[in-house]
Amino acid sequence: MTDSLLVLGIESSCDETGVALYDTQKGLIAHNLYTQIELHAQYGGVVPELASRDHVLKLTPLIQKTLDDASVTPQEINGVAYTSGPGLMGALLAGASVARSLAYAWKVPAVGVHHMEGHLLAPMLEDTQPEFPFICLLISGGHSMIIRVDGIGQYKVLGDTLDDAAGEAFDKTAKMLELGYPGGPKVSALALQGNTDRYKFPRPMVDRPGLDMSFSGLKTFTLNTWLKAQKENDATDQTKADICRAFELAVADTLTIKCKRALEQEGLNRLVVSGGVSANREIRAKLDALMKKRKGEAFYPRLEFCTDNGAMIAYAGAQRLLAGESHDLSFAATPRWSLEELEAV
């Protein structure tokens, strides 16, 4: 086992091509991101085939740029980490093929990284890092989970979403209000102009025991509110903003209640919040208030590492490579993959 590794990380599970270089002693050396938002915006959501083709086009130049930015030569790289799931099959394969080919040519090990483990560990790229164990609220476009984390690879899923993920609910709300894609940032921006007192939306499943979540009822409530406003000739920009505000507050409150419950249940007072939705201002404010009241600590990735990026994959892969883990050529992509199947490091 070496104690210092320079690892190239590649993320391509959905609509962002991310590349980064992480050094286990020096930290993050360089990172670049190419987002496909413009490509998919005209369709109102991600078109998988277009995503895969674009990753193929963008990956090699982005890797070259990242090496150039850091003045790193391929000879200096000790390993390649790539997102091997969960995600869109074609998009995953685009990243996996490039990563595996480079590892083969450079004669270094390659490791397939679980995308959600990447998100979960993203706060480790910051100056102040959470100690284990902690509770992680993992909120992205495809997942909403509450996880007890005892170490890298030691994950116990305490709560999951029964239907729509938090990010999905934001995206669908944006779509019904015709705000565009991706919905989270659009809903959040419009909510700033919304009136807090106009609507009160339900906080789903908070009166039931347990840590599972469900956002599809909230989505229907939002739709019905919007349809009623249209019927009453009140489908104005202000109504849209008021709906966004009520929706965002309902999601933030629900997540906060569930996190409080998880911390109490597990007897822990450290909370890590990651995944695309963790960029949300209101959610952060409510969780910060909760942790302040409990005299505990909350940890988040910096804003640019909340959504998909190569840095989190380079970090997670580096930890696994450091522990001697690597995967052979047959390990390409796993579009469906539970976090609990991962090996402890």
Which of 188, 214, 319, 334 lies at the binding interface for ligand KG4 (CB under 6 A)? Answer: 188
Question: Of 37 and 162, which has the nearer Cβ to ligand KG4?
Answer: 37
> Packing angle between helix 166-176 and helix 237-266, nearest 10 degrees?
170
Q: How far is the CB of 274 from ligand KG4 (least distance, A)?
A: 8
Residue 337, classed as helix, strand or coil, is: coil
Q: Which of 235, 232, 171, 169 is nearest to 202 (CA)?
A: 169
The residue from 36, 83, 140, 188 that contacts Zn ion (CB under 5 A) is 140
Tell me: does residue 184 bind ligand KG4 (CB under 6 A). yes
- Residue 185 binds which one of ligand KG4, Zn ion, none, with CB within 5 to 8 A depending on kind? ligand KG4
* Range list of β-strands (E), the chain: 6-11, 16-23, 27-35, 79-85, 110-114, 134-139, 144-151, 154-159, 270-274, 297-299
> Pick from 17, 83, 140, 256: which binds ligand KG4 (CB under 6 A)?
140
With the C-alpha atoms ordered 113, 117, 119, 123, is the resulting torsion angle positive or negative?
negative
| Single residue of 16, 242, 248, 308 touching Zn ion by CB under 5 A | 308
Shortest distance, position 168 Cβ to ligand KG4, whole Å: 6
DSSP letter at 161?
B
148 binds, among Zn ion, ligand KG4, none (CB under 5 to 8 A by kind): none
Is 188 a binder of Zn ion (CB under 5 A)?
no
The rounded distance, in Å, linking the Cα atoms of 88 and 333 is 9
Q: Which residue among 277, 318, 321, 322 contacts ligand KG4 (CB under 6 A)?
A: 277
CB 160 within 8 A of CB 145: yes
Q: What is the DSSP letter of 344?
A: P
185 near ligand KG4, rule: CB under 6 A: yes
Helix (H) or strand (E) holding 231: helix 216-231
Q: Which residues contact 35 (CB under 8 A, 6 or more apart)?
A: 15, 16, 17
Q: How far apart are CA 141 and CA 87, in angstroms?
A: 11
Q: With respect to ligand KG4, which residue has the nearer C-beta, 67 or 273?
A: 273
* CA gap 173, 188 in Å, rounded: 11
State which residue, 181 or 226, has the beta carbon closest to ligand KG4: 181
Considering the complex, state which of residue 244 and residue 322 has its C-beta at the smaller distance from ligand KG4.
Answer: 244
Select from 52-60, 275-283, 284-292, 318-326 the region that touches ligand KG4 (CB under 6 A): 275-283
Print the binding letters for residues 141-180 with ligand KG4: x by CB under 6 A, - otherwise.
Answer: xx------------------------x--xx---------
Please report whether residue 226 would count as binding ligand KG4 according to CB under 6 A.
no
Instruction: Report if residue 161 touches Zn ion, rule: CB under 5 A.
Output: no
Q: Which of residues 11-70 bind ligand KG4 (CB under 6 A)?
A: 14
Residues with Cβ within 8 Å of residue 178, at least 6 apart in sequence: none
Applying CB under 5 A, which part among 26-34, 200-208, 293-301, 305-313 lies near Zn ion? 305-313
Cβ atoms of 144 and 160 closer than 8 Å: yes
Residues in touch with Zn ion (CB under 5 A): 140, 308
List interacting residues with ligand KG4 (CB under 6 A).
14, 119, 140-142, 167, 170-171, 182-185, 188, 275-277, 279-280, 307-308
